[in-house]
Structure 1
Amino acid sequence: MTDDDTVGDEDVEQDTAGRYGPFAYLSAPNASLYRRVMRVLMSEKERFTVHMRSDAVYVALQSDGGGTVSEAAVSETAVAEALERLAQPSWGNLLAFADSSRVTALEDFYRRRMLYQLSREGEAAERALAQYDAALGTRGALQSVALEDIVVLLTQLRNTIVQRADGHPIDTAATHQALRTLHDRFSELAENAVAFMGSVQRTIDLHDADVEAFLAYKEQLIEYLERFIRDLLTRGATIAAMLLEIPDDGVVALAEIAAEREAADAAPGEKEHAFDVTRDRWVAQWTGLEGWFITAPQRESEAKLLRARARAAVPALLAVVRALHDNAGGRTDRTQDFLALASWFARLPSDGDRHRLWRSAFGLAPVRHLSVTAETEEAWDSVSLGSSTPWRDAPPLKLSPQLRRTGTYERRGKPAQVTDRTAAKAMLAAEAEAEAAQTGAARRRILTDGPRSLSAFGELDPEAFRLFLGLLGDALASMGPRASTSTVHTSDGELRVTLRRIDDAPPMALVTVDGVLTGPDHIVDIAPTSGGGAR
């Protein structure tokens, strides 16, 4: 350790004074050495070695390898100074005791020989850091086996309640052990599911960080998600049914059995208090288990939310793969161009600016400089032309020989007047306003005011049914054959349509003036988007 290290350590000591002193070494200049020393002492304590000398710690550090080459190369003096620093009261990670067991001469009394032991605070801090490292390193998992174990344990507890109700003796030790195992398996299931779905979301959001690795395991990941969804759907329903079969007094009885066995080890005078606290804790944990698997009217169960989130992750992963393939193939997509243009329109302050941007972007300006001869206009009026008329059957466009020869044509005399199209524009505006009003009325008629089944829709007029059928087709196409839910928006972004498949849905029929539409029933929710509306 150098003088600079000592000064830095003193600054850290002032900043971290108090009950969190054992964490102070993490921000000290020699934090890596302190961390290795603490891990060595923690490892030796797990082998029931209470005290260690400085030379023993040094030998252990030489064999641990360190994080890097520079960490592995540490001197015995540096280890002794690190132990002494960790044992100072300002940090309090270690306890130091004078070592007189190896004194063989008078001069040995004048040498500083110490035995070092982990303090309670230092051990607690080290365990917290180990838990922190483990939490960062885990990716979680979707544990289908845990679901099966929960079914087995609930079956055992349900049989225990039945035996108790019939007056038969029960094995309290086995019941307590089943409750503890149920709590542990459920906690692992919930925590690992949260961690795994978080890692999946990070994989979706940061897929371009390692494209090859993502493409290599995406099929296994999708298969893994689908298998867990299937298991959660079947076993989750079984667990929910078993939890509903266990009465409240049976839950209290199980909690009292567990509380009585755990309170038996309580200190004298605290047994009754420990019994009440432990019983309430077990009842609360059982309530959390029910909330995870059973859906209530005011909220959906955690298992159902997890199943929906896992299902949504599958199409999201497929969309990422499709985007990666499109980027790798150099596919040109104008979607981003139109989105950028839409954002420019939204930021402009006035309609005049938007019109100028429109003309600049698309170049749709009047072509007053082009004109045809009177003979051409008469030929167009004499025949009925449509969009499907071939060019060879249409009257020819006659050009002036001067225009063909010189490329310019100046008509002598008074210039032709610009046609006044005010009446035509007013007619088109009136038609557009009428169509918009008709479409807005149709949109208001199909709003659901919350999720509802297709079979709940009454008879729809042709305009509303045409709009409804288009939205339903877009939602079904987005859902695909495997997904159970999909959300789409109209082209103007004003309506949001959420469609959810019903398992084993009965057939439904929609009555219209043009006929009857039949098919499997679905849950549909048609609502205005945030900030929009069915105008």
Structure 2
Amino acid sequence: MMSDLGVSLQSLRSVPELKYVNAENVVRYRAIMRFFYQEYKRLKYWMKPEEVWTEVVKWGVLPDYTIEQCLADLEQLAEWGNLASRHDGGRASTLEEYMKKKMQYLLRPYSIEIERLLETLERVTGYGGSLESTLFDSIAEKLFEIRRLAVETSPEAALELWTTLYDAFKRLHENAADYIASLQTAKAEEMMVAESFLVFKDRLTNYLQNFIQALQRSAYKIEGNLENISEGVRDLFLEQVAEAELAKPRLEEMPSKETLLQELHQGWNNLRRWFLGEGNSPSELTLLERATKEAIARIVRSVIRMQERKRSGVSRKKELEHLAGWFARLDNLDDAHRLAGLAFGLFRSRHLQGEDLRHSDRADQSMWDEVPTIQMLRPRGRKRTGKQDTEPVRENEERKRRERESFLQRQAEEWEEISGLIGRGRLRISELGTVPPKTRLRLLQWIGRCSSAPKHAFVTPEGVRIAMLNSDTPERTVLVSEDGELHLPDYELAFALTDAVREVAAAGEGGLPNE
């Protein structure tokens, strides 16, 4: 049974095979399981209790370990599903010996993977990983072979192609992710601020730059091959891979062809998403390139900070005194200019803009013969060199008065027009005759504000609510003005006073606005 997420209930079961890792007698169980795993790698599978007990005692980690405890531990591990057991009656010489319970034990597949994982975890000291640029070329080459041989290749060749391709992809993804993560750790930060990092930084920078160059060189090939492999070619290729996988003789139960094809399609989608992205999200390849460039930038910044820190503590007094002695021994100003150019380089130029007043049209006249353009330069320093005349504060009362009168006039004109429309209540554009340009501009302003408002309505400063009643009308009309005609939808506008304005008018505290 599959859930909505595509995960089977079997994959979410409890794992009793992991109990021995954290059990009460964990040292005894781990010692037995490690012995079974070592013998498994030597191709020795079925083990007798006496052999297990003898070898575990030799290790010296369990000095008081007895054969009875070993038998009990083996039975417990068999009960948890870590070991398989069978009756051992081959060496019995009498019926009594045969009837006496003697067992042999075998390591189960789950336990093999658990021990393999634990052995790997014991060697983990950091993120590890690497940036293998050759994997890009391998992936591009295998994708090109899939494009070229998908129709003609045999199932065995297809399986070999897929295995090589996906193994290279997994190694690239996992190793690159681990290596970039190792550059983000606190240990890496401490290393980048140490003086010894200056010796190591060139190798690290070259390593990252070579990876970036290989990535940029091969990315287009990989993306192009993935784009050119059609769905039909992909499905045919994966069918051949599944056929070759199912053709392998296996003793354990094989998954169905549908399940195997689903896993292969998922792997292909992972490969495609990693290099091409999905939807609007960037691809993992782009993120990897960005992370690598950021790592290079962090390294460069760290080195610059260390070099600046070293230079900041060094006095240059003797160097400057020696350079000053050179200048003092020179008798010619031109030689001093040359020495300054060699010692300090060119100074930053300043671009000045002025009016070109030429007094001659001669094309062969030198620029040094032209009349100079006088340009007044303001001093950069804040210190005032002389007495400056103070400027009085400008009087803007007249300009303010004109602006105020203009605004009140525009407001009065708008209210005069609105007050005439309040009595009508509603207005259609088609009902208007020829209108002056000011009225046309005011109507367009109201239509624009109504169209952008959430409820297609707004309130003017005078307290008049203007609403558009048919914002999505398909009917069209022509608004005729003194300066031309405007084709637009036949909008209907409604005008009404707000409640606050009505209350003020009813209470007699003042008339309508601007009255």
Give the TM-score normalised by structure 1.
0.48
2:63 alignment partner, one of 64, 75, 82: 75
Partner secondary structure for residue 116 of structure 1:
strand
Task: Give how far 1:153 is off.
Answer: 1.0
Q: Which has the larger radius of gyration?
A: 2
Partner secondary structure for residue 131 of structure 2:
coil
Task: Give how far 1:57 is off.
Answer: 3.0
Alpha carbons 1:204, 1:320 under 8 Å: kept = no
Match of 1:149 in 2: 138
CA distance in 1, matches of 2:70, 2:308: 56
1:117 alignment partner, one of 99, 106, 110: 106
- 2:276 aligned with 1:294, yes or no? yes
Partner secondary structure for residue 228 of structure 1:
helix
Alpha carbons 1:54, 1:80 under 8 Å: kept = no
CA distance in 2, matches of 1:386, 1:171: 81
Task: Give how far 1:306 is off.
Answer: 0.4
One-letter amino acid of the counterpart of residue 179, structure 1? W
CA distance in 2, matches of 1:30, 1:213: 47
Instruction: Summarize the Cα distance change of 1:243–1:227 in structure 2 as closer, same or farther, 3 Å threshold.
Output: same
Instruction: Summarize the Cα distance change of 1:203–1:139 in structure 2 as closer, same or farther, 3 Å threshold.
Output: farther
2:47 alignment partner, one of 52, 56, 70: 52
CA distance in 1, matches of 2:311, 2:137: 45
**Identical aligned pairs, as a percentage?**
24
CA distance in 2, matches of 1:314, 1:113: 64
Match of 1:244 in 2: 227
Matches for 1:169-184 after TM superposition, within 5 Å: 169-184=152-167
Instruction: Summarize the Cα distance change of 1:136–1:32 in structure 2 as closer, same or farther, 3 Å threshold.
Output: farther
- After superposing the two structures, state which structure 1 stretch, 246-255 or 122-131, moved more: 122-131
Instruction: Summarize the Cα distance change of 1:327–1:152 in structure 2 as closer, same or farther, 3 Å threshold.
Output: same
Q: How many equivalent pairs are there?
A: 311
CA distance in 2, matches of 1:154, 1:316: 35
Instruction: Summarize the Cα distance change of 1:75–1:51 in structure 2 as closer, same or farther, 3 Å threshold.
Output: farther
CA distance in 1, matches of 2:258, 2:100: 56
Alpha carbons 2:35, 2:56 under 8 Å: kept = yes
Instruction: Summarize the Cα distance change of 1:228–1:255 in structure 2 as closer, same or farther, 3 Å threshold.
Output: same
One-letter amino acid of the counterpart of residue 117, structure 1? L
Deviations 1:350-375 (A, max 9, x none): xxxxxxxxxxxxxxxxxxxxxxxxxx
Task: Give how far 1:156 is off.
Answer: 1.3
Structure 2 residues not aligned, in runs of 5+: 1-12, 315-378, 394-515
1:279 alignment partner, one of 238, 261, 282: 261
Instruction: Summarize the Cα distance change of 1:51–1:214 in structure 2 as closer, same or farther, 3 Å threshold.
Output: farther
Alpha carbons 1:97, 1:114 under 8 Å: kept = yes
Q: Could you say which structure has the higher helix fraction? A: 1
Structure 1 residues not aligned, in runs of 5+: 1-17, 67-71, 333-384, 395-423, 428-535
Alpha carbons 1:25, 1:31 under 8 Å: kept = yes
Partner secondary structure for residue 282 of structure 2:
coil
Matches for 1:113-512 after TM superposition, within 5 Å: 114-130=103-119, 132-133=121-122, 139-161=128-150, 164=151, 169-202=152-185, 206-207=189-190, 211=194, 217-265=200-248, 274-295=256-277, 298-323=280-305
CA distance in 2, matches of 1:217, 1:242: 38
Instruction: Summarize the Cα distance change of 1:277–1:110 in structure 2 as closer, same or farther, 3 Å threshold.
Output: closer
Alpha carbons 1:44, 1:50 under 8 Å: kept = yes
Task: Give how far 1:251 is off.
Answer: 1.2
Match of 1:41 in 2: 36
CA distance in 1, matches of 2:205, 2:297: 9
Alpha carbons 2:169, 2:271 under 8 Å: kept = yes
Match of 2:484 in 1: none
- After superposing the two structures, state which structure 1 stretch, 99-108 or 254-263, moved more: 99-108
One-letter amino acid of the counterpart of residue 283, structure 2? S
Task: Give how far 1:302 is off.
Answer: 1.2
Deviations 1:92-126 (A, max 9, x none): 43345565556679998999865333245534533
Alpha carbons 1:225, 1:314 under 8 Å: kept = yes
CA distance in 2, matches of 1:78, 1:213: 54
CA distance in 2, matches of 1:80, 1:213: 58
Alpha carbons 1:37, 1:83 under 8 Å: kept = no
RMSD over equivalenced CA pairs, Å: 4.4
CA distance in 1, matches of 2:35, 2:194: 39
Alpha carbons 2:182, 2:188 under 8 Å: kept = no
Instruction: Summarize the Cα distance change of 1:112–1:316 in structure 2 as closer, same or farther, 3 Å threshold.
Output: same
- 2:75 aligned with 1:93, yes or no? no
Alpha carbons 1:218, 1:317 under 8 Å: kept = yes
Task: Give how far 1:240 is off.
Answer: 0.9
